[in-house]
Amino acid sequence: MTFSIDFSDANLRWVLLGSMLLGIAAATLGSFAFLRGRSLMGDALAHAALPGVCCAFLVAEAGRSLGWFDIGSKSLPLLLLGAGLSGVIAAWCIAAVARHSRIKEDTAQAIILSVFFGAGVVLLTRIQHSGAGNQSGLDKFLFGQAASMVGSDLITMSGVAAILCALTFAFYKELKLLCFDADFGRGLGFPMARLDGFLLAMIVASVVIGLQAVGVVLISAMLIIPPAAARFWTEKLHRMVPLAALLGGLSGALGALFSALAPRMPTGPLIVLAATAFFVFSLLFAPRRGVLARLWLLLSTRALVRRENALRDVFEATEASLSPHSDGNKTAVEAFPGISEDELLIGRRSDAATLRATLSQLQKKGLLQMQTGRWRLTEAGLRAAYEIVRRHRLWKMFLMYETSLGAQTVDRDADAVEHFLTPAAVSQLELLLREHDLEPRLKPIS
C-alpha cells in the first residue's frame, strides 16, 4: 500500500489551512481559559452549541417551507450563528447559576453541558425523523467532518480566527491581569466582569469555528491540550501563548495530513491525537517540568542527601573521638581509627548495598578513604564535611530557637532541610551558632 499526498487538490488545501487556523485560534484563547482554571468551560460551550445548530437548521427549513426566505438550511454561516447564540446563552446560564446559588462553577458547567447536549440530541433525532430527512448532515457536527470544507467555509473560518487572534493580542495585558490577579485589576478600575464575559464570548467563537472540523465532542481538546503542553516548557505567558498557538497549528496540520494519507480516517480525531502526542512528549521530556526531568532531579537530590549524610556521620564519629581539650588539629584527625560500614548503618534507613555504593562514590570523589576496612575523611572530605555539619547545626539551632523544642525533637527536621540552606540563610544563622558555642570542634586541615 502506497501513501501519497496531492497538494494540488483544492479540498486538501482548504482542510489543511482550516485545521491550522482552528488550532491556532483555539490554542491562543485556550491558554487564558487554562490559566483561569476553566478547562471544562470549552467542553460545556461546545456541547451547548449542538441545540443551536439544530435550531438554526429548523428555522431555515421553516422559512423555506413557508416561503418567507430560502437561504439554505445547510448554510454554514447560519448554522454557526445558531451555535454561537446557543453558546452565549449557555455561558450566561453557567454564570447565573454560579452567581445566584451555592453551586460551584464547575458543577454549573457540568449541569448546563448535560442539559444543552441532551436537548441537542433530542432535536437531532426530531430532525432525523422529519421531512428534512437523514439529519441533513447535522450529525457531522458531533465528531466533525473537515473533509466537507469548501472555499467559502475556509474564508469564514479565516476571518473569525484572524479577528479572535487580533482581539487577543490587542487586549493581552487586560486578559493577563484577569488570569493572574482579577482583584488587583478591579482595584485599578478595570471592568473585570466585562473582560471575563469578553473572554467567554471569544471562546464561544473559537468553539463555533471548530465544530465542522473537530465536532462538539472534541473541540474542547483543541482549547486545552496545546496550552497544557506549552505550559510544560515555559513559565512566561508571553512565551506560552505563541507556543500553544504553534502546537495547535501543528496539530491541525498533522491531523489533516494523516487524514489525507489514510482517506477513511476522520480528520477531527486525528487532529486531537496529534495534539495529544505533543502533550505526552512535553509531559515526559520538558526540561524542568517534565516527568523525566523531575525524576532525575529527585534521584539526584536523594543521592546528594545520602552522600552528605554519610560524610556527616564520619565527621561526627571523628569529632567524638577527640579529647575534651583537643583543638581539632591534624594529629588528632589522623589518630582517628576510622568507622566501619556496620557502625554507619546503625540508625540509618538505607540498606547495606546503598550505603556501600554511597561510600564508593565519596571515595571516587576523593572525600573518603578506606584503611583496614574502616572509613576515614580525607583532607578534602574534612573540609566538605565541616560545611555540611555546620549547616546541619545552624538549621538545628534555628528550629530550637524558633520553636522552643529540644535538640532531639528537631534533629530529624534538620536532617530533611539542611541540604537546601541558602548562603543568605547560613549567614543569618551563624550568629546564633556562635552565641550558643555549637560550632564544630573538628576544623578543616589548613
Mean pLDDT, the chain cut into blocks of 10 residues (446 residues total): 64 85 92 87 85 86 72 72 89 88 86 90 82 61 73 82 92 92 89 90 87 79 93 94 95 89 81 94 94 94 90 86 61 74 80 89 92 87 86 75 52 51 67 68 62
Q: Residue 425 class from Cβ within 10 Å (0-12 exposed, 13-18 middle, 19+ buried)? A: middle
What integer pLDDT is reported at residue 295 of this predicted model? 95
Q: Are 22 and 161 in contact (CB under 8 A)?
A: yes
Residue 308 lies in a domain: yes
Residue that finishes a domain, picked among 240, 271, 289:
289
What integer pLDDT is reported at residue 443 of this predicted model? 66
Q: Are residues 111 and 207 in the same domain?
A: yes
- Output the pTM of the full model: 0.80
Q: Are residues 106 and 39 in the same domain?
A: yes
Residue 345 lies in a domain: yes
Looking at 286-364, list the stretches that DSSP marks H as alpha helix, in order from N- to C-terminal side.
291-320, 330-334, 341-345, 352-364
Residue 441 lies in a domain: no
Q: Are 87 and 207 in contact (CB under 8 A)?
A: yes
Residue 443 lies in a domain: no
Residue among 227, 261, 222 nearest 242 (CA):
227
Residue 359 lies in a domain: yes
Residue 262's domain is classified under what CATH number? 1.10.3470.10
Amino acid symbol at 372: T
d(CA 399, CA 427): 16
Q: Are residues 270 and 369 in the same domain?
A: no
What integer pLDDT is reported at residue 405 of this predicted model? 45
What integer pLDDT is reported at residue 1 of this predicted model? 45
Residue that finishes a domain, picked among 267, 289, 311:
289
What integer pLDDT is reported at residue 297 of this predicted model? 93
Residue that finishes a domain, picked among 289, 318, 342:
289
Q: Are 219 and 211 in contact (CB under 8 A)?
A: yes
d(CA 79, CA 209): 10
Q: Are 343 and 375 in contact (CB under 8 A)?
A: no
Domain count, the chain: 2
Q: Are residues 271 and 314 in the same domain?
A: no
What integer pLDDT is reported at residue 282 of this predicted model? 96
Q: Are residues 191 and 128 in the same domain?
A: yes
Q: What is the domain extent for residue 404?
A: 293-435
